[in-house]
Amino acid sequence: MPVPKSERLLNLLIMLLVQRRPIAKDRIRQLLYPDSRPDAFEKMFERDKDELRSLGVPVEVASVDPFFDDEVGYRVPVDQFALPDIELTPEEAAVVGLASRVWQHATMAQATSDAVRKLTAAGIDVDLEALEIAQPLLTADEPAFETCWLAVCERNAIQFDYQRVGSVPRTRHLQPWGVVRYSGRWYVVGYDTDRQDERVFRLSRVVGEVHRIGPSGAYDVPSDADIRAIARRLAPPTSTENAVLLIRQGTGHTLRRGATRVEPGVPGPDTRTGWDRVELIRPSVGLEDEVLAHGPDVVLLEPAALRKRIVDRLEQVLA
């Protein structure tokens, strides 16, 4: 079974990134393209290499042996691939910090493990610290996420059974344009070929497996399609919570932005810094994760049911 293009590109990036020395093309073919014919490998490798470069990855060509220049190899210099130092405002830093806790998808973790295992088994000296700058971090527990995400990358149409509240599952056919998280839930957005219109489907309501159908590259995503805007427009409204939180001064900027009332300088769970009492109205879905993402800087007081769920999750971690 051929490896999906997205996984093949990730494997190639990992291989070139962890190299302490350039790796020869024959070695790359042996490890990552073992079933390809020589001519097919040349075309595929050139396309993959060009695609990585188009994404901003600095694929470098250099001699495999520093004393002889008769054989060239490939690698990605870590110092050129890593982002330069960036200065962020406290609010920007809060957004980045929250996002870094949100993405942790098993597909990428598995692909990374497989690639490193192949390299190590082949006796190649790998630099695992280099992976820290290419580590994907998004939590997506829905079983449908992986196939939908791959279908978006490969432009594959998909077929799945979808069940709305109070109804029986129905088979749907979609040309997926993107997968987006909105109000704490994951949605796949695309063109419903049965209804001939844009549609949004919540991944947690997909019943059974998602099947990719037809060839890759079978459709184009409209250039003016705003995936997040479509999700906001078509997704069903979510319930909201009146929440009361204690937020450490100088933190919790994303929560403060939507506050309806802020009472500064209130007693908090410790005296290391000052605390503010913040009241806000937010969608109930996702608020629990957002509070936990701020660690010891945010304490939820109300509502009691949400506070209990947060306490239960923390106790499970301690156990």
Q: What is the pTM of this model?
A: 0.44
The answer on pLDDT for 26 being more than 60 is yes
Question: Which residue type occupies 207?
Answer: V
Distances from the Cα of 62 to the Cα of 23, 50, 111, 235, 242, angstroms: 9, 16, 26, 51, 60
| Interval 261-274: pLDDT, tens | 999 999 999 988 99
| Interval 53-69: pLDDT, tens | 877 788 888 877 666 55
| Interval 214-249: pLDDT, tens | 898 899 998 888 888 888 888 776 667 788 999 999
3-state helix/strand/coil string of 80-146:
HHCCCCCCCCHHHHHHHHHHHCCECCHHHHHHHHHHHHHHHHCCCCECHHHHHHHCCCECCCCCHHH
Confidence of residue 2 (pLDDT cuts 50, 70, 90): low
Residue 167: the pLDDT is: 84
Is-contact 123 133, C-beta < 8 A? no
Q: Return the top range by mean pLDDT from 55-64, 175-184, 205-214.
A: 205-214
Confidence of residue 100 (pLDDT cuts 50, 70, 90): very low
CB atoms within 10 A of CB 180: 18
Reference 200, options 217, 178, 218, 219; nearest CA is 178
